Amino acid sequence: MDIHEYQAKEILSGFGVEVPPGALAYSPEQAAYRARELGGEKWVVKAQVHTGGRGKAGGVKLCGSDSEIFDACEDMFGRKLVTHQTGPEGKGVYRVYVEAGVQIEREIYLGLVLDRSSQRVMIVASAEGGMEIEEISAERPDSIVRATVEPAVGLREFQAREIAFALGLMPSLVQQMVRTLQGCYRAFTELDATMVEINPLVVTGDGRILALDAKMSFDDNALFRRPQISELRDKSQEDPRESRAADRGLSYVGLDGNIGCIVNGAGLAMATMDTIMLSGGAPANFLDIGGGASPERVAKAFRLVLSDAKVQAVLVNIFAGINRCDWVAEGVVQALRELQVDIPVVVRLAGTNVEEGQKILAQSGLPVIRASNLMEAAQRVVGAWKNDVAQATEVRAAQ
C-alpha cells in the first residue's frame, strides 16, 4: 500500500527525520490560509497523489503570494495529474500540501528498499539527488552508494557515518545525516514498510538536512497489525477494480486486454497470462483466488471479474492442491446461474477432485467450454473471444 507525501513526512518526522513545516489543504482558500499560518514569504504547493515525477508534471509549484497559491491550486484541484508513472489516465488531485519554501544548497537521493538477493534492507543513496533513481543509475551509476543492514543489529552509527562520508557531506552535517538514516531505517522495520524514499533530501543554506519529498510503501500482508498505517489508505488513488477486490480479500491485478483470468497462485497467473498472449489474446486482469477457496469465494471472484466492462471472455485456470476442483466447479456454476453471462467461459481444472469437478460442470447444462491443459484452454478462450468479436462486427455491419 502506498501513502501520500504528507503522511510519509509525518511518520518519518516521528522517527527523527527533519521535514519543513507544512499543512494540508482541501481547497484553494484553505491552502492560502494555511500558507499565512505557516508564515514566511515563499511556499511550495504540492499535489498529493500517489506518484513520483509530480514536479515535471506541474504538481509542485513554488509560490510567493496568496494569488499565486490560488492559481497553483486551481490548476491542480480536480485535475488528473499525469506523470511518467501514472499511465495516461493519471491520478486525481483532491488534496494539496503547502510547505514553507526552503533554500536548497544540495540535493541528495536516499532510498531504503528490500533487497531480495541479500534478504536485507538496502540503503541506496546518491549525491546526485533531484533526478529519479532510474536516471541516476543510467547517467551517474558510480555516484550510487549501497549498504545492506544486518537485521540482528540494525543500522549502527558507524555504518550510517560511512554512508554520510561517501556522500561527501561536511563533518558538521554527519550527525544529522546519521539521525536521518537511522530514523528511516527504524520507520522501515518497525512499520513493515517495503520502501522509503526521500528524493530530494536537501542540505539547506543554513546547514540543515531536510526531507523535501517522502514516499513510503507498506507490506499489504502486514497491514492487519498496523492499523495506524492501514487507516492512511486513500482509495481515490487506487485502481477501483483492485480496491474492490482487496476489500473482499482477493488479490486482483487490472490489465489492458479483454480476457478475464481466474487462477490460483501468482505463478500460475503469470503462466496463464503468457499462454494467453502466446495464443494471440491479451488478459484484462487476473484474479488470484488463493488456496482453499470455497464455492462462494469462487463465485465472488467471478462476479468481480465480470464487473469489469473490458472483459469479453473468461478463463478459469485452477491447479488444485489445497484447493478442490469440485468446489471451484460449484462456484463457477453458482456464479453462472446467478449472473447473466453472455460471454465465453473456458474452464481448465487439474489436481484434487478433478473428476468430480468435471462432472459438476458437465451436468450443469451450462455452456462452459472445458479444456484439459493450459495451452488448449488459452487457445479456446482466445478462439471463442475472436469469434464473438467477429460476430459482433458482422451484426453491426448488417445493421
Binding residues for Mg(2+): 199, 213
The one among 8, 17, 31, 44 contacting ligand GDP by CB under 6 A: 44
Looking at the Cβ atoms of 208 and 359, the one nearer to ligand GDP is: 208
3-state secondary structure of 282: coil
| Binding segment (CB under 6 A) for ligand GDP, from list 94-102, 266-274, 289-297, 339-347 | 94-102
Identity of the residue numbered 274: D
Question: Which one of ligand GDP, Mn ion, none is in contact with 212 (Cβ closer than 5 to 8 A by kind)?
Answer: ligand GDP
Torsion angle, CA of 147/150/155/160, rounded to 10 degrees? -30
Longest dimension (CA), the chain: 80
Q: Which parts are annotated binding residues?
A: 46, 53-55, 99, 102, 107, 199, 213, 264
Alpha helices in the chain (DSSP H): 5-14, 28-38, 66-76, 133-139, 157-166, 171-190, 227-230, 240-247, 266-278, 295-306, 325-338, 354-364, 374-398
**Minimum CB–partner distance for residue 68 and ligand GDP (Å):** 14
The one among 24, 82, 104, 282 contacting ligand GDP by CB under 6 A: 104
Looking at the Cβ atoms of 102 and 178, the one nearer to ligand GDP is: 102
Q: What is the Cα 333 distance to its own chain's centre?
A: 33
Q: Is 52 in the site for ligand GDP (CB under 6 A)?
A: yes
Looking at the Cβ atoms of 53 and 351, the one nearer to ligand GDP is: 53
Looking at the Cβ atoms of 58 and 290, the one nearer to ligand GDP is: 58
Alpha helices in 39-170 (DSSP H): 66-76, 133-139, 157-166
Mode of pairing for the β-strands spanning 91-92 and 43-47? unpaired
Q: Look at residues 123, 377, 182 and name the one whose alpha carbon lies nearest to residue 273.
A: 377
Q: Is 5 in the site for Mn ion (CB under 5 A)?
A: no
Q: Is 213 in the site for Mn ion (CB under 5 A)?
A: yes
Q: Calculate the alpha carbon distances from 42 to 27, 66, 68, 69, 329 in Å.
A: 19, 10, 10, 10, 63
Q: Is 308 in the site for ligand GDP (CB under 6 A)?
A: no
| Binding segment (CB under 6 A) for ligand GDP, from list 47-55, 66-74, 260-268, 311-319 | 47-55
Residue 293 contacts residue 262 (beta carbons within 8 Å)? no
Establish whether 109 is a catalytic residue. Answer: yes
**Minimum CB–partner distance for residue 29 and Mn ion (Å):** 27
Looking at the Cβ atoms of 85 and 175, the one nearer to Mn ion is: 85
Torsion angle, CA of 87/93/98/99, rounded to 10 degrees? -10
Establish whether 185 is a catalytic residue. Answer: no
Catalytic residue among 109, 128, 185, 252: 109
Mode of pairing for the β-strands spanning 120-126 and 104-115? antiparallel
| Binding segment (CB under 6 A) for ligand GDP, from list 98-106, 159-167, 298-306, 345-353 | 98-106
The one among 3, 31, 32, 60 contacting ligand GDP by CB under 6 A: 60
Give contact residues for ligand GDP (rule: CB under 6 A): 44, 46, 52-55, 60, 62, 99, 101-102, 104, 130, 199-200, 212-213
Query: Catalytic amino acids?
Result: 109, 197
